[in-house]
């Protein structure tokens, strides 16, 4: 049996309004039999006979009754069941597509969240590293401050010792003024002679160093013998 409409020759889908002939079971589009706006009398399913069968000899009363009962059952159960199944399948397909699209979006969002989480973990590790470096630098600075303070104390202590030693050393220094200067003189011998004159013997080696003090005016060539100064260091 052909599944096409005998009027428009197009396929009759289960989702379309259709009607079958109770005799030949031929399928027709409902719109092809009763066009929209038509004034024809309403067609009752299970009793409709196609124009081709109407032109044939009329069936007996029993055949008509059996055919009508069988057709009514088929038109009531089969087409309605197929129509509901088609709608159910279409709804399931739409729901499946919608859920698939939404799940894809959710996966993309979760991927973005995973990337954000990875970035946060990376920044957190950098922060922990910088924090640890700052803590180490802080400890090192405190240690350097302590070492600096200790060094300052040591320097101050040594400075005090040096000052004391310098004062003690200066206490043993003697300056002798108004000693005439001679070319090629030996100041140590001169100092020993002065000691003998004043009855204070100065032995050899008791004077660490003996030198003349430089003139205030180094440019002047005039020799002032009366103001020459001899300085002895470390007199024992």
For residue 172, being part of any structural domain is answered with: yes
* Residue 111 pLDDT class (50, 70, 90 cuts): confident
Structural domain harbouring 198: 168-233
Confirm whether 133 is domain-assigned: no
Counting the structural domains of the chain, the total is 1
* 216 within domain boundaries: yes
User: To the nearest 5 percent, what fractions of the chain are helix, strand and coil?
Assistant: 55, 10, 35
Q: Which residue bears the tokens 């003349």?
A: 212
Burial call 146-162: b when 16+ CB within 10 Å, e when fewer: eeeeeeeeeeeeeeeee
Whether the pLDDT of residue 106 is over 50: the answer is yes
Task: Give me the sheet containing 209-212, strands edge to edge.
Answer: 174-177, 229-233, 209-212
Nearest to 207 by CA among 181, 180, 176: 176
194 is a domain residue: yes
Alpha-carbon dihedral angle through residues 150, 151, 152, 155, given to the nearest 10 degrees: 130
> Would you place residue 208 in the very low, low, confident or very high pLDDT band (cuts 50, 70, 90)?
confident
Query: Using CA atoms, how far apart are residues 86 and 18, in angstroms rounded to an integer?
Result: 15
Residue 95 lies inside a defined structural domain of this protein: no
- Report if residue 119 sits inside a domain: no
What does the pLDDT look like over 153-200, one tens digit per residue?
Answer: 999 999 999 998 888 777 777 888 877 888 888 888 888 888 888 888
**28 CB neighbour count, 10 Å cutoff:** 22
Q: Whose CA is closest to 207, among 175, 234, 229, 185?
A: 234
More confident residue, 115 or 149: 149
pLDDT of 39 > 70? The answer is no
Residue 18: phi, psi to the nearest 5? -145, 170
pLDDT at 112: 84
Say whether pLDDT at 73 is over 50: no
Q: Cβ atoms within 10 A of the Cβ of 1, count?
A: 8
Does residue 205 lie in a domain region?
Answer: yes
12 domain-assigned: no
């Amino acid at each position: 049996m052909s599944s096409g409409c005998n009027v428009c020759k197009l396929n009759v889908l289960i989702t379309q309004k259709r009607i079958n002939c109770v005799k030949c079971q031929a399928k027709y589009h409902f719109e092809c039999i009763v066009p929209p706006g038509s004034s024809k009398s309403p067609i009752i399913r299970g009793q409709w006979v196609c124009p081709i069968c109407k032109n044939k000899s009329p069936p007996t009363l029993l055949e008509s009754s059996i055919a009508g009962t069988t057709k009514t059952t088929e038109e009531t159960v089969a087409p309605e069941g197929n129509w509901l199944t088609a709608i159910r399948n279409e709804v399931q397909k739409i729901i499946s597509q919608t859920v698939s699209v939404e799940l894809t979006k959710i996966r993309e969002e979760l991927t973005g969240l995973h990337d954000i989480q990875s970035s946060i973990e990376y920044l957190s590790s950098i922060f922990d590293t910088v924090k640890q470096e700052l803590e180490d630098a802080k400890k090192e600075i405190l240690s350097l401050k302590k070492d600096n303070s200790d060094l300052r104390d040591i320097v101050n202590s040594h400075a005090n010792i040096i000052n004391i030693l310098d004062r003690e050393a200066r206490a043993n220094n003697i300056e002798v003024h108004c000693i005439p200067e001679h070319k090629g003189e030996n100041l140590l011998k001169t100092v020993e002679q002065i000691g003998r004159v004043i009855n204070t013997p100065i032995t050899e080696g008791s004077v660490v160093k003996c030198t003349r003090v430089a003139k205030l005016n180094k440019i002047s060539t005039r020799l002032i013998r009366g103001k020459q100064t001899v300085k002895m260091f470390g007199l024992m």
